Amino acid sequence: MTKFHGTGVAIITPFNDDLTIDHIALTNLVNFNIENGTDYIVICGTTGESVTITKAEKKDITITITKATNGRVPLVLGIGGNNTAQVVEEIKSTDLSQIDALLSVSPYYSKPQQEGIYQHFKAISEMSPIDVILYNVPGRTSSNMTSETTLRLANDFNNIIAVKEASNNVHQYLKLLRDKPDDFLIISGDDDLVLGIVLAGGAGVISVLGQAIPKQFTKMINLGLEGKAKEAYQIHFKLMDMTSLIFSENNPAGIKAVLEALSLSKSAVRLPLVEASNDLKQNIKLELQKIES
């Protein structure tokens, strides 16, 4: 699954001032990323504000990104939730002909036991006509998919090819890297930890920050994949403060403030999220100047 090595980005959903989707900005952002080294694009993940996007909007977003990409990089589509039957029905009813893999989040809010998480993904795997990337993000789901459950799924289902691990738990990452099947990918969902994970054997990242600074971010990841730790960490250190800033209030308000400062999109988000504060926007602008200098 070399197509999912390197830098994937969890693309935002840009909004106009009236909170309708800005498809022109979305197209421009996709092109900006591809032209600057991004390896693949994730559509309607958490950073894309998937929980406040309608089904019709999600379809339109997918069409826009598919057209903009034009086969240049692989596409991953977010389809997940805590209602297993509903997730399975969405997979069944979605045109996946232009999609390379699904990204499916571990069930949130319901706080299932590990067996419930396993059975949820078993149902998804059996329905999906394409590959599946698991997504573990305890900070949002209120439950952790343990390394044992992830590895059980990896061993039991051929089309479950990877996990986007965003537990921010280095020990859990290392257990996955140590015990995974050879062809199963550990993809970091933690921008602050990704370089260390890549150097330990991870396949890369599905990044938030990477979509705003793709040239430098992909260079860092590629150097890490080549084992060039010293050179990679020089970039990591340069991006550390920005990584902290974009998550200091909420995601995606932080990254949208960066993209606004770069004149790539507006900073608008949909309730219950609110835009980044003026203080954060100013700090982001100052940090961008440091990065670009």
135 part of the active site = yes
What's at 63, amino acid-wise?
A: I
Give the pair of three-digit tokens for residue 154: 């990896």
H or E segment at 78?
Answer: strand 75-78
Taking the CA atoms of the chain, what radius of gyration do you get in angstroms? 18
CA–CA separation, 269 and 293 (whole Å): 29
CA–CA separation, 169 and 166 (whole Å): 8
Length of the chain: 293
Residue 277 CA, chain-centre distance (Å), reads: 24
CA–CA separation, 265 and 254 (whole Å): 13
Phi, psi of 134 (to 5 degrees): -70, 155
What's at 113, amino acid-wise?
A: Q
CB 206 within 8 A of CB 9: yes
Range 277-282 contact pairs with CB under 8 angstroms and sequence separation of 24 or more: 277/249, 280/245, 280/248, 280/249, 280/253, 280/254, 281/257
* Beta-carbon contacts of residue 173 (< 8 Å; ≥ 6 apart): 165, 167, 186, 188, 193, 197, 200, 202
The active-site residue, picked from 40, 118, 135, 173, is 135
164 part of the active site = yes
The active-site residue, picked from 40, 58, 118, 164, is 164
CB 233 within 8 A of CB 195: yes
- Tell which residue, 205, 140, 139, 210, has the closest CA to residue 168: 139
Report the catalytic residues: 135, 164
